[in-house]
Structure formats: structure tokens, C-alpha cells
Amino acid sequence: MADSCTGHRFTALRFDRVHPLKLESSGPGTEIDPFPSSLNRNEDYVDARGFVVQNNVSDDEKVAVSRDASDNLIFKDGVVSGIKTLSDLLEAGTGMSEAAHKIIRHIIHFLEDGPAEDGYREITGTIFPTAIIWYETSAKSKKIYEKLNTWTGINVTTIVRKIYDTDGSTVLATVTDNISYSGIFETSRTRTVS
């Protein structure tokens, strides 16, 4: 390669392309080449444990691709620590694990007054509600979402929101807001997610 690369786009498109020499004999393939010949890029596969990738000046094993004993395609990178599988990379493409996404997914799928799915809402407290609970049905056997308000006078000073798993009792995430006021006007809010 004549130049370096930026991100995933190569700034130069000139490469010294090398074709490995092959010596085919009887085996699972269909060809028999008794003399060394150049690999046919449109037909032949390179059969190897893995490969190491170099840049313009490196001579090391910092970047590699291989296969582990469980048949995972594995990657080693000079910047990202540890060895990653293809599954790790696919998961990383979403920005988070499936479990973490499930929690966030549930939080963001809520409208101003509750979940964006079928349900039944129950409110306790009158003009100052202390609990707003969404259930799957009016039987109230499985919770979806719960919002608990703590009031100081006419100001809600703590709001605790809980997102429940499909079993209706396991809490996936709790979001707690502690709110400060000047008179009736909110001045600050501290949010904790657990």
C-alpha cells in the first residue's frame, strides 16, 4: 500500500498484491497441480490457522484474525484490548449489550404518561399522586412501569421510576430524580440510574 488509511476508507488505492504459491495434490479439492503455481484468486482458498495484518512500518502480531476451538471467528486489535469474537463485534455495533439495550429500550418506549404498549393504569393519591402504576391488565398481576412521587408541600422532590421485566416483578432499571426548588420553581435535578 502506498499510503496510510483513514478510518475504514483507504486514502490510496495502490497495493502490492501478492498471490501465494500453491502446490495442490489429492485432497478435498478438485484440482491437482504438481508444480508450484500462483493461487487463483477466483477459485482457490488459503487454508491457514489465521493471519496477521501489518501497517507500513510494523512487524508484530498486534492485529490478527483467527478461529478458536469453539469455531468462533476471533479478532485481535492493537488498540482495543483483548480478543473479540464476531458476536462481540456485532453486539458492539448496537452500542451496548442486549441486556443493556433491553433496559434502555423499555425506558425510551414510554410516552409522557406511561408505556407505549397495552396496559392498565392505576393512580394513588389525589391532586398530588404518590404512585402511578401500569399493569399488563386490570387484573394487576404483572407490573410494567411504576412511578413513585415524594411530595414536599406542593413540590414533588423525588421521583422514582421502575421498569419491570415481562414477569411483572423483576425490576430491570430504576431511575431516581432528586429535585431542588426555589419556591415553586425547579432549580436543579440529579438523576441516578440503577
Q: Is residue 31 part of a domain?
A: no
Q: Is residue 61 part of a domain?
A: no
Q: Give, in order, the Cα–Cα distances in Å from 74 to each of 28, 68, 81, 86, 174.
A: 25, 7, 13, 6, 36
* pLDDT tens digits for range 97-108: 666 655 554 555
pLDDT class of 10 with cuts at 50, 70, 90: very low
CA angle 56, 57, 63 (to 5 degrees): 80
Contact 37, 25 (CB under 8 A): no
Is pLDDT larger for residue 111 or for residue 187? 187
Among 36-50, 87-101, 174-188, name the one with the lowest average pLDDT. Answer: 87-101
Is pLDDT larger for residue 87 or for residue 146? 146
What is the pLDDT at residue 129?
Answer: 95
**In a 10 Å sphere around its CB, with 0-12 CB exposed, 13-18 middle and 19+ buried, how is residue 110 labelled?**
middle
pLDDT class of 27 with cuts at 50, 70, 90: low
| E-only strand ranges, the chain | 5-6, 9-10, 21-22, 37-38, 50-52, 64-67, 73-76, 83-85, 110-111, 114-115, 120-124, 131-135, 143-152, 155-164, 171-182, 185-193
Q: Give, in order, the Cα–Cα distances in Å from 181 to each of 103, 154, 178.
A: 30, 11, 10
Is pLDDT larger for residue 130 or for residue 12? 130
Q: Is residue 45 part of a domain?
A: no
Q: Which domain holds residue 110?
A: 100-193
Q: Is residue 141 part of a domain?
A: yes
Q: Is residue 90 part of a domain?
A: no
What's 63's DSSP letter?
A: S
Q: For the chain, what is the domain count?
A: 1
Q: Is residue 134 part of a domain?
A: yes
Task: Report, as an integer, the average pLDDT of 74-83.
Answer: 84
CATH number of the domain encompassing residue 174: 2.40.128
Q: Is residue 14 part of a domain?
A: no
What is the pLDDT at residue 97?
Answer: 62
* pLDDT tens digits for range 81-124: 888 888 777 766 555 666 665 555 455 556 566 676 788 999 99
Q: Is residue 35 part of a domain?
A: no
What is the pLDDT at residue 8?
Answer: 44
- As a whole number of angstroms, the distance between CA 122 and CA 135 comes to 8
SS3 content of the chain, % helix, strand, coil (to 5): 10, 40, 50
Among 5-9, 14-18, 137-141, name the one with the lowest average pLDDT. Answer: 5-9
Contact 114, 123 (CB under 8 A): no
Contact 164, 137 (CB under 8 A): no
Among 5-14, 49-58, 108-117, name the one with the lowest average pLDDT. Answer: 5-14
Task: Report, as an integer, the average pLDDT of 137-154.
Answer: 94
